[in-house]
Amino acid sequence: MKTIKVRKAIKIKGECIAPADKSVSQRAVMISSLANSPVRVDNFLDCDDCRRAINAFRAMGIKITLKKTAANTSILYVQGRGLKGLKKAKHALYIGNSGTTMRLIAGILAAQDFKSVLTADPSLSVRPMKRITGPLKAMGAQIKARIKAKQEYPPLVIFGKDLSAIKYSMPVKSAQVKSCVLLAAIFAKGTTRVKEQIKTRDHTERMLRLFKSGISVNGLSVKIKQVKELKSPVNFFIPGDISSAAFFIVGATLLSGSRLKVKKIGLNPTRIYLLKILKRMGAKIEILKKGSNLKSFEPYADIRVVSASLKSTTIKETEAAYCIDELPILCVAACFATGTTKILGASELRIKETDRIYSMVTNLGKMGADIKSEDNNLIITGTGGLHGAQVESFGDHRTAMSMIIAGLLASGETTVKNSSCINKSFPEFMKILKNITKLT
């Protein structure tokens, strides 16, 4: 229930390392646990959501250790026990607030020869699960969920079964759903084919390829045959999370006189739409080749951001899906852009950790922004400034961090209530922000 107070900053200057990617870190725990021998993961993200994934696999008999390095990063060691190595947990697996852990782990558990129970915190307990139970049931899974108005919600009781491959045409644009089906497909008899509407983040496909699963990708189609074993790559590195770096990138763009280098930031092509959109709005963001590794299994590089004036843009539905996690901070950017920015068809924002259309309209409205929602569209007209106010995270990490950046840009003082949720994805956020922000 932490309250964070921020005042207008002068500029952002210096350099920082983006925290490790949360999506990749969670997948690293799950896929390494199923590998045929130990895996070492460098630059693992130690945060609440990743701890939920670790605890779940520990409860199923996997030995997992986390070590801090002198550089304050974390190394994850996972003693994979093979595809048949998981044991029935002695208790329900508490997944807390982590939608990714819940939806991905369900795919794995659906194929085990034991029963599992997945429980969640109040926020995740009201997020829809039919999007995963539907395809899993089509593969032969037996899952009982809490049902309300024809939707399914946690807790999930999963009775492990022998699964069969499916041909699945995705009705939602969701990497979590795709990943859930692909992880179930590892165990399912036959060849599973998944077809997407747009290419959502492909971290599961990349990691399954790294573990020699025989997965193949052709445009929007992914194909995977039942896997005999997942071969440990021995070790791999997780780059920085662009969704976390996004807060600093927008802050540095909007505070005049800023100059920031963000090191080792993940530049997976399915995750870089924030940069594309900001550049279109006039942002000055440069990818620095030196010291980068754009060819790794998850490409990364250093980037430099210098302050710039922004103009409005229209983010269409497909593009909104590509940068769904960055839309809250893009709302903040739009408040300082000339003209009217439209974010269209962002219905998925309604079912994140909170309703992010509501949270951003309410909070930025309190700070004097010209922002409104029409159905699932956001319409924001830049007014050139915001004023400090008392705002709320609504228990949502990305709303909290977006509002802290808004507070650095606004006149007077901004109070962001209920901010401990930041630990979900970025426990070091305030520490890094203080290091790079010049207040006087």
Question: Binding segment for ligand S3P among 40-48, 163-171, 173-181, 266-274 (CB under 6 A)?
Answer: 173-181
Residue whose token pair is 């969640």 = 120
Among 174, 192, 307, 393, binds ligand S3P (CB under 6 A): 174
Q: So which residues are the catalytic ones?
A: 325
Residues touching ligand S3P: how many (CB under 6 A)? 10
Contact (Cβ atoms closer than 8 angstroms) between residue 329 and residue 343? no
Site string for ligand S3P, 125-164 (x = CB under 6 A): ----------------------------------------
* H/E element, 440: none
Question: Binding segment for ligand S3P among 45-53, 63-71, 114-122, 175-183 (CB under 6 A)?
Answer: 175-183
Strand partners, 78: 39, 64
Q: Smallest gap, in angstroms, from Cβ of residue 27 to ligand S3P?
A: 7
Q: Rank residues 176 and 268 by Cβ distance to ligand S3P and give the closer one.
A: 176
Q: Smallest gap, in angstroms, from Cβ of residue 348 to ligand S3P?
A: 6
Among 8, 201, 261, 424, binds ligand S3P (CB under 6 A): 201
Residue 351 has phi, psi (to 5 degrees) of: -120, 30
Q: Does 97 bind ligand S3P (CB under 6 A)?
A: no
Q: Rank residues 27 and 81 by Cβ distance to ligand S3P and give the closer one.
A: 27
d(CA 389, CA 203): 38
What's the DSSP call for residue 226?
P
Contact (Cβ atoms closer than 8 angstroms) between residue 353 and residue 396? yes
Question: Binding segment for ligand S3P among 2-10, 132-140, 174-182, 245-253 (CB under 6 A)?
Answer: 174-182
Q: Rank residues 349 and 410 by Cβ distance to ligand S3P and give the closer one.
A: 349
Nearest by Cα to 246 from 216, 267, 225: 267
Contact (Cβ atoms closer than 8 angstroms) between residue 332 and residue 406? yes
Q: Does 324 bind ligand S3P (CB under 6 A)?
A: yes
Report the amino acid identity of residue 337.
A
Q: Does 95 bind ligand S3P (CB under 6 A)?
A: no
Order of strands, sheet of 370-374, starting from the edge strand that comes earlier in the sequence? 314-315, 340-343, 377-381, 370-374
Among 18, 19, 23, 44, binds ligand S3P (CB under 6 A): 23
Among 49, 196, 302, 325, binds ligand S3P (CB under 6 A): 325
Q: Rank residues 322 and 336 by Cβ distance to ligand S3P and give the closer one.
A: 322
d(CA 378, CA 362): 12
Among 12, 34, 143, 175, binds ligand S3P (CB under 6 A): 175
Q: Rank residues 326 and 392 by Cβ distance to ligand S3P and give the closer one.
A: 326
Question: Binding segment for ligand S3P among 171-179, 180-188, 214-222, 266-274 (CB under 6 A)?
Answer: 171-179
Question: Binding segment for ligand S3P among 57-65, 170-178, 187-195, 361-369 (CB under 6 A)?
Answer: 170-178
d(CA 316, CA 344): 5
**3-state DSSP call for residue 413?**
strand
Among 33, 55, 98, 100, binds ligand S3P (CB under 6 A): 100
Q: Rank residues 53 and 283 by Cβ distance to ligand S3P and give the closer one.
A: 53
Tokens of 414: 């901004």
d(CA 331, CA 401): 12
Tokens of 59: 């409860």
Report the amino acid identity of residue 413.
E
Residue whose token pair is 């025989």 = 214
Q: Smallest gap, in angstroms, from Cβ of residue 103 to ligand S3P?
A: 7
Q: Rank residues 176 and 307 by Cβ distance to ligand S3P and give the closer one.
A: 176
d(CA 210, CA 385): 47
Q: Rank residues 43 and 100 by Cβ distance to ligand S3P and give the closer one.
A: 100
Q: Smallest gap, in angstroms, from Cβ of residue 23 to ligand S3P?
A: 3
**3-state DSSP call for residue 240?**
strand
Residue 158 has phi, psi (to 5 degrees) of: -115, 120
Residue 305 C-alpha from the chain's centroid? 22
* H/E element, 194: strand 191-195
Contact (Cβ atoms closer than 8 angstroms) between residue 102 and residue 118? yes
Q: Is the C-alpha dihedral spanning 290, 202, 297, 234 positive or negative? A: positive
Q: Does 307 bind ligand S3P (CB under 6 A)?
A: no
Among 25, 32, 98, 179, binds ligand S3P (CB under 6 A): 179
Three-class SS string for 100-119? HHHHHHHHHHCCCCCEEEEE
Q: Rank residues 50 and 175 by Cβ distance to ligand S3P and give the closer one.
A: 175
Q: Smallest gap, in angstroms, from Cβ of residue 145 to ligand S3P?
A: 17
d(CA 99, CA 184): 17
Q: Does 176 bind ligand S3P (CB under 6 A)?
A: yes
Q: Smallest gap, in angstroms, from Cβ of residue 266 to ligand S3P?
A: 12
List contacts with ligand S3P (CB under 6 A). Answer: 23, 100, 174-176, 179, 201, 324-325, 348
